[in-house]
Amino acid sequence: MTRVFQRFTKRYANIIGVLLGLAVVSSILLYSGCGMTSSPNIRTNPTPTPDNVRPTSIITFPTAAGIVSTSAAVNITGTASDAGGGTVQSVQVSVDGGVTWNPATGTSAWSFAWSPTLAGHATIKSRALDTSGNQQDPPAEVTVTIQDGTRPTSTITSPTSGAIVITGTAVTITGTGSDTGGGSVQSVEVSVDGGATWNPATGTTAWAYFWSPTTLGPATIKSRALDTWGNQQDPPAEIHVTVDARPTSTITSPIAGTSVLTGTRVSITGTASDAGGGTVARVEVSVDGGATYSAAVGTDAWSFNWTPSAPGQVTIKSRAVDNTGNVQDPPAQIDVTVAPPDTTPPTIISRFPLDGENTVGIFKTVVVDFSEAMDSATVNGSTVELLDPSGDTVPATVSYIADSRRATLDPTGPLSPGTTYMARVKGGDTDPRVKDCCGFFQIRQRLARLRF
């Protein structure tokens, strides 16, 4: 029984071994093909070829030799590609000739925003990087001109805003100019009529303009700078001033060229006005050629009392000051001669009709000539009289002619024929009496008996 089992076991073991061997041989044949035609369903894994081709980029805007401005942002654009079988991973842009690089937006079509700040020339470059790590070399590049787009500026330093300037007087308008855009100030223009017309100033970074205002009232002064790139300041600098006129005064007495006496009071008189729309606040008078001034009495009509102390030539000046502080310049002036003191009393050197004359016409004028200039205020009807036989004053008109030093008496009505009248010039020690310009009054009463 045992022997039979052993033969059975051995037989099946041989069968299993044969089956296993067939399976192995079949596997080998299927793998190697054993010279048979390959099955189309069998896949292969070849070794990939390395990507050594650099990607490229080009700049489409701005173009070479183009012009950009510091006043506007520039959108740099371009395209990129990779012929090596990979793809463009990124693009970088440089606006300083390759010193620094910045990432662009996009790959096959890309852009970069740039704001130029300095005028001159700039080299823009671009370079692409692909997915294989290859970088474009050399980069694409264009060179452009950066134009200064920043407007220059100017300022007005004098006069200050709100100042008062005087008509007919030269005003020096001054200021400064600058250009922060990289250019330089080429010229400065000034307007004194609010911008209606413009005139060139002298200088650039420091400038001046000379103006002689002629029209009274408010005025707007403006300045504008122009740089070497053609940029013009806008809006201009401006200030507001008021054009005013100086007040004026005139001297009405004494008359230029006349003589006054040492120690004798002289009443200097005159008038004043202000054409600038203000009012005369005061008038000042100088009797030493302008070295010192003293206040007169009055404004539109004024007076100043002066007593000369020494002989010689004297310049009298007057100047008005208005309510805004404007001072007359130049002052009004006259020259007079101060003579030595007059110590000689006046006398009557002739008269007509003569004393005791008969048959004088009833309408005859009585004439008296003095030896020197008289104070005209003292030659009047109370000091030069015509008396009737009763000693009563006959109505008459008395006049004094300074140039000839002559007094005249004209009866206002006809006199009585055949009647003796008496003409009298009062002097003496008490007023009323005639006096010379120095106040001397040593003339005694002069009587002339006249028969009409």
For residue 209, name the pLDDT band (cuts at 50, 70, 90): very high
pLDDT at 26 over 90: no
Q: How many CB atoms lie within 10 A of CB 428?
A: 13
What was the pLDDT predicted at 436? 81
What was the pLDDT predicted at 340? 87
Q: Which residue has the higher pLDDT, 406 or 41?
A: 406
- Phi, psi torsion values for 352, nearest 5 degrees: -155, 135
What was the pLDDT predicted at 44? 56
Q: Indicate the range of 24-33, 176-185, 402-411 predicted with least confidence.
A: 24-33
pLDDT at 388 over 60: yes
Q: Which residue has the higher pLDDT, 20 or 395?
A: 395
What was the pLDDT predicted at 181? 80
Q: Which of 2-6, 31-35, 418-422 has the highest mean pLDDT?
A: 418-422
Distances (CA, A) of 257 to 68, 94, 167, 316, 338: 78, 89, 31, 11, 10
pLDDT at 343 over 80: no
CA end-to-end distance (rounded Å), the chain: 222
Question: Are residues 210 and 172 in contact, defined by beta-carbon separation less than 8 angstroms?
Answer: yes
What was the pLDDT predicted at 80? 97
Question: Could you tell me which of 180, 181, 177, 132 has the C-alpha nearest to residue 157?
Answer: 177
Mean pLDDT over 323-341 rounds to 93
Q: Indicate the range of 12-26, 103-117, 170-184, 248-262 predicted with least confidence.
A: 12-26
Mean pLDDT of the chain: 86
State the pTM of this model. 0.56
For residue 306, name the pLDDT band (cuts at 50, 70, 90): very high
What was the pLDDT predicted at 38? 43
Pick the CATH number of 156-244 from 1.10.274.10, 3.60.20.10, 2.60.40.650, 3.90.1150.10: 2.60.40.650
Structure-token pair, residue 174: 């001054």
Structure-token pair, residue 1: 């029984």
What was the pLDDT predicted at 37? 41
Domain 248-339 adopts which CATH fold? Answer: Immunoglobulin-like (2.60.40)
Residues in Cβ contact with 109 at an 8 Å cutoff, skipping those fewer than 6 apart:
77, 78, 79
Domain 348-451 adopts which CATH fold? Answer: Immunoglobulin-like (2.60.40)
Mean pLDDT over 157-183 rounds to 93
Domain 56-147 adopts which CATH fold? Answer: Immunoglobulin-like (2.60.40)
Domain ranges of the chain: 56-147, 156-244, 248-339, 348-451
